Amino acid sequence: MTNQTIQTKSDAEKPALHIEGGYRLSGELTTNGAKNSALALMAATLLTTDECRLTNVPQLTDIRTMGAILEAIGVRYRQVEAHTVDIDARFLGTQRAPYELVNTLRASFFILGPILARHGIARIPLPGGCAIGARPVDLHVRGLVAMGADVTIEHGMVEARARKLVGARICLDFPSVGATETIMMAATLAEGETILENAAQEPEVVDLANFCSAMGAQIKGAGTKTIIIQGVKKLHGCEYRVIPDRVEIATFLAAAAITRSTLLIGPVLPEHLSAPLAKLKEMGMTITLVRPDTLEISPGSGLNATDIETLPFPGFPTDMQAPFMSVLSVAEGTSIISETVFENRLMHVPELNRLGADIRVRSGHAIVRGVPRLSGAPVVATDLRAAAALIIAGLAAQGTTTITGLHHLDRGYEAIEQKLQNLGARIQRLAPGSSFIAAPAVDCFSPSAGVAAGA
């Protein structure tokens, strides 16, 4: 066994994932609850003075940060078990959420609507932009103003006041997930009816509507472009299970595709995955629903190029764009990937090119020319889904890939390296200063290995 130590000065200071590429995956994977639903549900618990219990909550940095933000504003937050939290907002105050926490978690802005609906005043720091874009909140604010709030933004602080919120007809310029969620939550306790048009239809919006309904809210039309909310006086606590994480599932489907593997993945709600499943079939994969909530993905004879345009749900999700770009980087032919939702969500391209991909960006479109094989190298994750894309590429790259920037990864994937190890991947997370003993380079995609070539 070659004892290869891979370390550069900078790697020595940072934890890194080391992946020995070329190994096929196999087995069955159980995925976690949806980060982007759990964060909104945690905000919605502020709408009631009763205790709520959320189950199937993933163990992620973002969830812990949101918990810390809730505690900072007087909420009792208790991790009951690994994936169960109790939240009691009876003592919710109007103190400001701490900037240093809000600044790291854009989803913290979701607490504005519920606090305003509960107390008539809410002050939270303006969330910063992030790697993938400016992430403005104008649609959230305009919705609350339409419901009678006065909102000022000064010195990086958003302050909203409303003696009482009144239902309104609101039409969003863009079907923003967050703005839809902010307005829907505020409207549950407003006086009268709110009609929200051009609403986001994402499954996480539906999950939030179902949670609020379980608390006694009157909501119709969630999952369509028009949501109608009848305000009620009070909401009560409840216990609620978060939906499966469709982005985590799609990430592992992409890992199966690039490594030419057959995997079982669940629990899934197939209707949450229509667009990515259609793309995987175009790429040559076979997808079967082997149980009502379990998918089997298996390789075809090759991996076909295809075009992807990210769109609001039910279009192809922007959160799956980077992982799918990794797969298309070794497809037969050229794929065009258009990111239309965020203005700066192609930062994984240079890092994929370091792994031997051939991708060019031209006015917001990535032209992905498939190559026969990627080759391992040290790379840096720039954001959450870029980190996932680099892992997927490393699984198929010849030799060793070293990935730093893992704080991005841990925001949205629970124990991803353990899950991949359990499926046969050669992947390790090494603390700073430790060395990685690379297994002998293999390429179980080569024809001599008796399996279909990777590309």
Catalytic site positions: 130
Instruction: Sketch the per residue contact string, 379 through 418, with ligand EPZ: x for CB under 6 A, - otherwise.
Output: -----xx--------------------------x------
The β-bridge partners of 194 are 229
Region of 131-139, 185-193, 225-233, 417-425 interacting with ligand EPZ (CB under 6 A): 131-139
Angle between helices 35-44 and 61-72 (to 10 degrees): 10
Any contact of residue 133 with ligand EPZ (CB under 6 A)?
yes
Position 107 contacts ligand EPZ (CB under 6 A): yes
The crossing angle, in degrees rounded to 10, of helices 112-119 and 138-146 is 20
Cα–Cα dist 36/40, whole Å: 7
Residue 372 found at the interface with ligand EPZ (CB under 6 A): no
Question: How many positions of this chain bind ligand EPZ (CB under 6 A)?
Answer: 26
- Residue whose CB is less far from ligand EPZ, 306 or 321: 321
What residues numbered 332-371 form the site for ligand EPZ, per CB under 6 A?
341-342
**Least separation in angstroms between CB 341 and ligand EPZ:** 5
Alpha-carbon separation of residue 246 from 36, 254, 270, 426, 431 (angstroms): 10, 12, 9, 24, 30
Is residue 206 a contact residue for ligand EPZ (CB under 6 A)? no
132 vs 368 by CB, closer to ligand EPZ: 132
If the CB atoms of residues 42 and 377 are measured against ligand EPZ, the closer one turns out to be: 42
Structure-token match 């057959």, residue found:
262
What is the smallest separation between the CB atom of 76 and ligand EPZ, expressed in angstroms? 23
Tell me, residue by residue from 157 to 196, as one string, x for binding to ligand EPZ by CB under 6 A and - for no binding: -----------------x-xxxx-----------------
Rounded CA-CA distance 300/286 in Å is 7
Residue closer to ligand EPZ (CB basis): 374 or 384: 384
Q: How far is CA 262 from CA 28, 292, 443, in A?
A: 9, 18, 17
Between residue 412 and residue 431, which ones bind ligand EPZ under the rule CB under 6 A?
412
Site string for ligand EPZ, 210-249 (x = CB under 6 A): ----------------------------------------
Query: Toward ligand EPZ, which CB reaches closer, 18 or 385?
Result: 385
Dihedral, CA atoms, 86, 186, 311, 203, nearest 10 degrees? 40
Judged by CB under 6 A, which of 319, 351, 410, 414 binds ligand EPZ? 319
- Report whether 306 contacts 335 (CB < 8 A): yes
Q: CB atoms < 10 A from the CB of 417, how many?
A: 18
The least CB distance from residue 56 to ligand EPZ, in Å, is 16
Decide the pairing of beta strands 239-241 and 218-220. Answer: unpaired
Q: What angle in degrees, to the nearest 10, is found between the helix axes of 177-187 and 203-214?
A: 10
Based on CB atoms, which residue is closest to ligand EPZ, 199 or 427?
Answer: 199
Q: Which tokens is 116 given?
A: 């305003």
- DSSP state, residue 133: B
Report in angstroms how near the CB of residue 35 gets to ligand EPZ at its nearest.
Answer: 6
The Cα-based distances of 435 to 11, 409, 424 in angstroms read: 10, 21, 21
Among 284, 316, 199, 209, smallest CA distance to 455 is for 284
Task: Enumerate helices (H) and strands (E) in the chain, giving the number of each.
Answer: 15, 23
Question: What is the contact mask toward ligand EPZ in residues 38 to 77, using x (rule: CB under 6 A)?
Answer: -x--------------------------------------
Q: How many CB atoms lie within 10 A of CB 134?
A: 11
Residues binding ligand EPZ (CB under 6 A) = 36, 39, 106-107, 133, 135-140, 174, 176-179, 200, 202, 204, 318-319, 341-342, 384-385, 412
